[in-house]
A and B are shown apart, each in its own frame.
Chain A
Amino acid sequence: MTTPTLSIQNLTVDIPTRHGILRPVQNVSYDIAPGEILGVVGESGAGKSMAGNAVIGLLNPPAHIASGEIHLNGIRIDHLQGDEMRRLRGKQIGMVFQDPLTSLNPLLRIGDQLTETMLAHLDISQSEARQRAIAALEEVGIPGAAERVDSYPHAFSGGMRQRVVIALALCAEPSLIIADEPTTALDVSVQAQIIALLKKLCRERGTAVMLITHDMGVIAEAADRVAVMYAGQLAELGPVREVLTAPLHPYTDGLMGSTPLASRGKDRLHQIPGAMPRLDSLPQGCAFHPRCPRTEADCKVSPGPQLIDGAACLHPIAREDVA
């Protein structure tokens, strides 16, 4: 077995507050293999972004990694500080944010933003960086890249800007990309193009991708495996086909049910009753039990089993249950 590009083991993120410690990420473990796209889904506030930020070392204090390990290409990175971590960002781990309208510095030409990134990580000359910047823009499908390299971000549409952002994330050839809802802010018509582009570029280069999204359609389209998060914990982890069509965890089932997905053959759009608990009032036992249709007495006492593959649930849906 090859070393995974990213390996997260028992990652826990804490936010100390005046009223106690909040735990937006709790005991999360997963791997992403080279060239693999892992979809990370879950309700708003589930801790998806927190986990991504922890990996790239951009947690906003006072949030910090409390325990667990993060390995990148077999090398432990969770304890790296300051300049060591900076050197990793952009070079080893690229990041794509949600809103392309605000991700680019409005006062700098996109070419300059590309070259500054490359010059920060690669030992190349200014003119070579510029050549590569143009090539990078061509690769992400910006027409007339040679002229547009000197444009400012406002001259591009949202979809085009997200292409620029992807070019920026990939320009130093990182082995991992963290894409935090890369299409949420875009027109429906360009969402598919952006996902297709991300998928294509990462496949070509063997870049691993952590694809955070709310959109099951995006997951179905792009992801190889899916991690479902609930209240900071991993609820389910598995290959995309299995998780989407035959979820084990009742939460995943509810999540699928609340998204219209033709391939599941369900016509109704149902909602999971209740809301995800706040971090300062997590229930005893399984965090999902107050909302779970399959709750039994033991769910209120003990959390689900430690998840490696499958579902962190004491009473998972049997695969045969689903037609």
Chain B
Amino acid sequence: MRGRFPLDPSARPLSAGRMLAYTIQRVFQSAIVLLVVGLVAFSMFRFVGDPIDNMLGQERTMEDVERLRAQLGLDQPFVVQYYKFLEGAVQGNFGVSFRQGRPVSEILLERAPATLELAAVSALLAISLGIALGVFTAIRRNGFGANVIMSASLIGVSLPTFLIGILLIYLFSVKLGWLPSFGRGDTVDIGSWTTGFLTSSGLRALILPSITLGLYQMTLIMRLVRSEMLEVLRQDYIRFARARGLRERAVNFRHALKNTLVPVITVTGLQLGSIIAFAIITETVFQWPGVGLLFINAIQFVDIPVMAAYLMLISVMFVGINLIVDMLYFAIDPRLRVDRTGGH
């Protein structure tokens, strides 16, 4: 079986045919994963609680209950409900929110920009700082600064996200009063996309949540980059690059960094997926009006369509990112690409 890191130097380059087969196989695997996640999500929520209880108040009649049940399709067999769910999901139709009485897809689309903008800023922060600090701590392996950063990163990894969020709010909002503690600030509509990037209050509102959300990923990426880079710096081709009299800069950035990034891509890719998933906590702490907060509110209300749609969305994202990451290997690593110059 092919490993996830087909980096063995003796590995045969993939032919075009094998690469196509590999791609198809991966897409197929992804579809199965999504089906299973869909089933789990759907059946789990089916038994979490009765939405009817929440939707109708104390003064309800049996007729009301039955009518609503039929209207929502909850009276049909489980398999039929799942099939309908899948059928709709493929077309982007996740039904109508029990709570808001509007199509779930509409609600999600409305909320998506807030989460995506937050996640994008966090990811950018995590990747750029993570790589920069990882490289720094690897090159200055025993330096004072590197040791301080490494120790600090332990704190970043071990503190729970919500605590970081609360600490930041306490310091920068409550004590210093520099930054807002909740919400998105002013937003601007561009078509159906509401953005906080274009107003200063929107940008200021992004700072604390994106640090909160990105910090954990940043420390992970940094530690990963550091350990990968230390490994790469031990390789023969780095010694050889030094023996050829290349400048330290070229050795570190041209030779070592590029090789470091190959395995880092996978983990980073998956981290990006989890940034969106983890956004639930950050969005709750900062009352950020994104899909995570929507999900939390949906749980309180047993709003099954919203919860199911959210879970499906997250898994599609994970699977999609995974797929893209695998394909990125081909772009970065020539050994995996179709060999144009011929073999041995």
Cα–Cα distance between A154 and B10 once the two chains are bound (Å): 7
Write out the residue numbers on chain A whose beta carbons fall within 8 Å of the beta carbon of B243.
56, 58, 89-90, 94-95, 97, 169
Given A95-B240, A107-B332, A160-B344: A155 and B339 interface contact (C-beta under 8 Å) = yes
CB <8 Å contact, A116 and B246: yes
Name the distance in Å between A80's Cβ and chain B's nearest Cβ: 12
Residue of B nearest to A82 (CB): B248
Cα–Cα distance between A150 and B341 once the two chains are bound (Å): 9
Write out the residue numbers on chain A whose beta carbons fall within 8 Å of the beta carbon of B240.
95, 97, 103-104, 165, 168
Residue of A nearest to B11 (CB): A154
Write out the residue numbers on chain A whose beta carbons fall within 8 Å of the beta carbon of B334.
106-107, 152, 154
Cα–Cα distance between A88 and B341 once the two chains are bound (Å): 34
* Interface bits B215-256 vs A (CB < 8 Å: 1, else 0): 000000000000000000001110111111111101000110
Cross-interface CB contact of A120 among B235, B244, B255, B335, cutoff 8 Å = B244
**Cβ of A205 under 8 Å from chain B:** no
**Cβ of A37 under 8 Å from chain B:** no
**Cβ of A99 under 8 Å from chain B:** yes
Write out the residue numbers on chain B whose beta carbons fall within 8 Å of the beta carbon of A88.
245
* Interface bits B316-344 vs A (CB < 8 Å: 1, else 0): 00000000000000001111000101111
* Interface bits B258-269 vs A (CB < 8 Å: 1, else 0): 110010000000
CB <8 Å contact, B236 and A117: no
Name the distance in Å between B343's Cβ and chain A's nearest Cβ: 7
Residue of A nearest to B244 (CB): A90
CB <8 Å contact, B344 and A120: no
**Cβ of B13 under 8 Å from chain A:** yes
Name the distance in Å between B297's Cβ and chain A's nearest Cβ: 47
Write out the residue numbers on chain A whose beta carbons fall within 8 Å of the beta carbon of B17.
none
CB <8 Å contact, A155 and B237: no
| Most A Cβ at <10 Å: residue of B259, B339, B344 | B344
A134-155 with Cβ < 8 A to chain B:
147-148, 150-155
A73-93 with Cβ < 8 A to chain B:
86-91
Write out the residue numbers on chain A whose beta carbons fall within 8 Å of the beta carbon of B259.
105-107
Given A155-B341, A155-B342: A102 and B246 interface contact (C-beta under 8 Å) = no
Write out the residue numbers on chain B whose beta carbons fall within 8 Å of the beta carbon of A154.
9, 11, 13, 334-335, 339
CB <8 Å contact, B235 and A121: no
Name the distance in Å between B335's Cβ and chain A's nearest Cβ: 5
**Cβ of A25 under 8 Å from chain B:** no
**Cβ of A156 under 8 Å from chain B:** yes
Cα–Cα distance between A97 and B241 once the two chains are bound (Å): 11
Residue of A nearest to B240 (CB): A103
Write out the residue numbers on chain A whose beta carbons fall within 8 Å of the beta carbon of B235.
102
Name the distance in Å between B192's Cβ and chain A's nearest Cβ: 42
CB <8 Å contact, B344 and A156: yes
B148-186 with Cβ < 8 A to chain A:
none
CB <8 Å contact, B236 and A152: no
Cross-interface CB contact of A117 among B9, B11, B239, B244, cutoff 8 Å = B244
B88-115 with Cβ < 8 A to chain A:
none
Given A106-B259, A156-B344: A120 and B250 interface contact (C-beta under 8 Å) = yes
Write out the residue numbers on chain A whose beta carbons fall within 8 Å of the beta carbon of B237.
102-106
Cα–Cα distance between A94 and B243 once the two chains are bound (Å): 7
Write out the residue numbers on chain B whose beta carbons fall within 8 Å of the beta carbon of A169.
243-244
Residue of B nearest to A92 (CB): B245
Write out the residue numbers on chain A whose beta carbons fall within 8 Å of the beta carbon of B10.
101
**Cβ of A172 under 8 Å from chain B:** yes
**Cβ of A157 under 8 Å from chain B:** yes
Cα–Cα distance between A97 and B246 once the two chains are bound (Å): 16
* Interface bits A154-178 vs B (CB < 8 Å: 1, else 0): 1111001000010011001000000
**Cβ of A108 under 8 Å from chain B:** yes
Given A58-B242, A90-B243, A90-B245: A99 and B236 interface contact (C-beta under 8 Å) = yes
Cα–Cα distance between A46 and B244 once the two chains are bound (Å): 25
A160-211 with Cβ < 8 A to chain B:
160, 165, 168-169, 172
Name the distance in Å between A129's Cβ and chain B's nearest Cβ: 13
* 3 tightest Cβ-Cβ pairs between the two chains A and B: A90-B245, A89-B245, A95-B243
A-B contact pairs, 11 of them (CB 8 A): A87-B245, A89-B244, A89-B245, A103-B236, A103-B240, A106-B259, A106-B334, A107-B332, A120-B250, A160-B344, A168-B244
A residues near B (Cβ < 8 Å) are 56, 58, 86-91, 94-95, 97, 99, 101-108, 116-117, 120-121, 147-148, 150-157, 160, 165, 168-169, 172
B residues near A (Cβ < 8 Å) are 9-11, 13, 235-237, 239-248, 250, 254-255, 258-259, 262, 332-335, 339, 341-344
Please name 20 further chain A to chain B contacts, defined as beta carbons within 8 Å, in addition to the given A95-B244, A102-B236, A104-B240, sorted by A numbering.
Answer: A58-B239, A89-B242, A89-B244, A89-B245, A90-B243, A94-B244, A102-B237, A103-B237, A105-B241, A107-B259, A107-B262, A108-B255, A116-B246, A117-B246, A153-B9, A154-B11, A154-B13, A154-B334, A155-B343, A157-B344
